[in-house]
Every structure is written in structure tokens, then in C-alpha cells.
Structure 1
């Protein structure tokens, strides 16, 4: 949900900046006169002689030495934050492929989703686990696993975690030919609703 909200907000912000920049460019190149159309009356940039920041706005703080460096610093920080936000939205959170290297230096690509499914299926047959969800992260050559387990009421978390590490994760690491598979495991217990007994 948060990811969708972020993308919508980023899209709206980009669309607004694109429209503003396009309008300034339209006025700066005097395209409305060349192409024979008119801009709305409220639009401030009507021709090449109009400026984004007027004389009053440029000279109001001229005597203050701190003003322009502060404005440039704030705009630079804002730009850096917006770029970071954009890159965070575009970054893939799920590993698509795992690169497997054999002893004779040949390589193969294993579908990340297939390895996730295999890990989930093997984890769900372990004693005490009701449901498992696995997501691979990291790089193709050095994957890591994020495992979420829903435990049955009788499950022993320490025993379940040891069994998962010794069996499921070890099988995945060995079958994919990985030296290591760092894993973050989150355990949650199944909660049953209380029922009224007559």
C-alpha cells in the first residue's frame, strides 16, 4: 500500500514539475506566438521577456550575504531528497535471478521466484510451521533471504528456527551452489479468535 502511495505521489509531483517546466519553456521560446495559440490569462510566463523571478524578488535580500547560499543549499538538499525518493521507488525489492557458478567456471541463472517457492514449500512441511513466506534480496551473486514464518500454537520457536536453518536453508544453499545464504527470519504465532461456548 505504501509503495503504491509513494508511486502516485511521485507521479503527481513529476507531472506538476513537467507541466511547470513546459509552461516556462513555452513562454521562453515564444511558442504561443509562433504556433498561433494563446495561454490562459492567469499564466505568468507569456513571452520571452517574462521572468520566473522578478526584480523585486531577486533584489529583496541582496544585502543579506546568507540568503543566496541558503536558497541554493535548500534547493540542493530538496533535489537530493527527490532523487533518493525516485531511486527508492525504482529499486527492485525482490531478486529476480540468482547467478550460479560451477567449479569449471560455467554460470547459470536460477529464477529467484522458483528458489523462493522451493524454500516456502520445504519450510511449510516442517513441524510447527503453519505458513511460510520467503523473499530473496541482495545481489545475484550474493543473495540473502527474508523469511516470515507463521507458527502453530504448539511450535517451539528455537527448535523451529534451528530446523529451518539446518534443513531448509542449508538445502537451498547447497542446491544453488552458494557459499552462504544470509537469512533474516521473522516468527509470528497464529492467533485464534475466542469463541463463545454455550
Structure 2
């Protein structure tokens, strides 16, 4: 939902900026504007001195300007945080076969996936996070491997066991995953 609002808002702001900027550019290049347009010609200013200074002495003017700019800054900050924050999936839609479906908590599936991923020998720690839509989740898995473990073997075990188990238990057609592997730090061994 936020992605749709984000795209619509950006599209509308971009369209307004292109239309107004293009019209001002056209008038500046010598195209004669219509009678209702804010500019009369290429040498006209946007705001005259009288228009700029007429509200300066009003008591409501500066508080209104400051409140409007503060509201604009808060909205822009909210939008930036909403765009940058990656949301966790709250629930996963499980197809029960009767057409209604059931909802599975996303954190529960993340916990089971992390526990299954950490079970094989050589995996020191596992962390799982689900993103995406509730009918098409995506898994982000981080594995901390012991130094002696082959990464290809650990990745194969993760895809054939833990991810397959999570996909089958939630009745999903597919469960795309991004996997990050790291090795645990260890002390150097002495050779005698």
C-alpha cells in the first residue's frame, strides 16, 4: 500500500513540476501566454515588490508560514522514514484449500525458519526475516558458519531442508530467499 501511495505522490509532484516549469520556460522563451496566466511576458517577475511585502506586517502571516513549513518538513521526514524502512511481514496467508485461507504470524514462521537453519552441524547462528506481501513472502536469511564448514554445503542444506520445510508448511508455491553467509571468528591454532 505504501509503495502505491509513494509512486502516486511522486508522480503527481513530478507532473506538477514539469507542467509549471515547462510553462514558465515557454513564456521565458517568448511564447505569448494566455490572459489568465500569472506571467505577462518574458520580462515579468513572479511576485512584484508590493505583492511580496503586503502581508509582512500582518500578525498571522509569519506564524502561518512557519507552521506550513514545519508541517511540510514533518511530512517529508515521515515519507523518507517510511521509504527507507524495510517492513517485516506481519502475517503470511496460508492456502487451506477451502478458499478462505488462514493467517500465520510472520514472526512465528521467521522463528521456525531460523531454528531449522541453525540446526545443522557447523551453523553457529541463524537469523531469518520475512518481507514482501502476505501471499508472496520473501525470506532474508543470515547464517554464521563455523570455520570448518563448506559454504556450498551449508547453503544446499538450507535450501533443501529449512527453506523447503517453511515453504511446504505454509503451503506456498515458492519462497524466494536472499542468504548471507559469514564465518565465525576463531582464535589462531598453535602448531607445534
**Superimposed CA distance per residue, residues 29-79 of structure 1 (whole angstroms, 9 cap, x where no aligned partner):** xxxxxxxxxxxxxxx9771477989xxxxxxxxxxxxxxxxxxxxxxxx99
Q: TM-score, normalised by structure 1?
A: 0.56
Match of 1:109 in 2: 103
Q: Specify whether residues 177 and 50 from structure 1 end up closer, same or farther in structure 2 by C-alpha distance, changes over 3 A only.
A: closer
The CA deviation at 1:127 is: 2.4
Q: Specify whether residues 154 and 86 from structure 1 end up closer, same or farther in structure 2 by C-alpha distance, changes over 3 A only.
A: closer
**Superimposed CA distance per residue, residues 141-168 of structure 1 (whole angstroms, 9 cap, x where no aligned partner):** 1101000000011100001101100111
After TM superposition, list the pairs within 5 Å mapping 1:69-148 onto structure 2. Answer: 82=77, 84-88=79-83, 93-148=87-142
Q: Specify whether residues 49 and 167 from structure 1 end up closer, same or farther in structure 2 by C-alpha distance, changes over 3 A only.
A: closer
After TM superposition, list the pairs within 5 Å mapping 1:170-189 onto structure 2. Answer: 170-189=164-183
Q: Distance in 1 between matches of 2:129 and 2:183?
A: 19
SS at match of 1:145: strand
The CA deviation at 1:126 is: 1.1
The CA deviation at 1:123 is: 1.1
Decide which of 163, 182, 190 is 1:169's aligned counterpart.
163
Decide which of 43, 59, 79 is 1:47's aligned counterpart.
59
The CA deviation at 1:120 is: 1.0
Q: Name structure 1 gaps, 5 residues minimum.
A: 1-43, 54-77
* Cα root mean square deviation, aligned: 3.1
The CA deviation at 1:114 is: 0.7
Q: Specify whether residues 48 and 156 from structure 1 end up closer, same or farther in structure 2 by C-alpha distance, changes over 3 A only.
A: closer
Which range moved further: 44-53 or 129-138? 44-53
SS at match of 1:126: coil
**Superimposed CA distance per residue, residues 79-120 of structure 1 (whole angstroms, 9 cap, x where no aligned partner):** 99646404226x562111101122221210001111111111
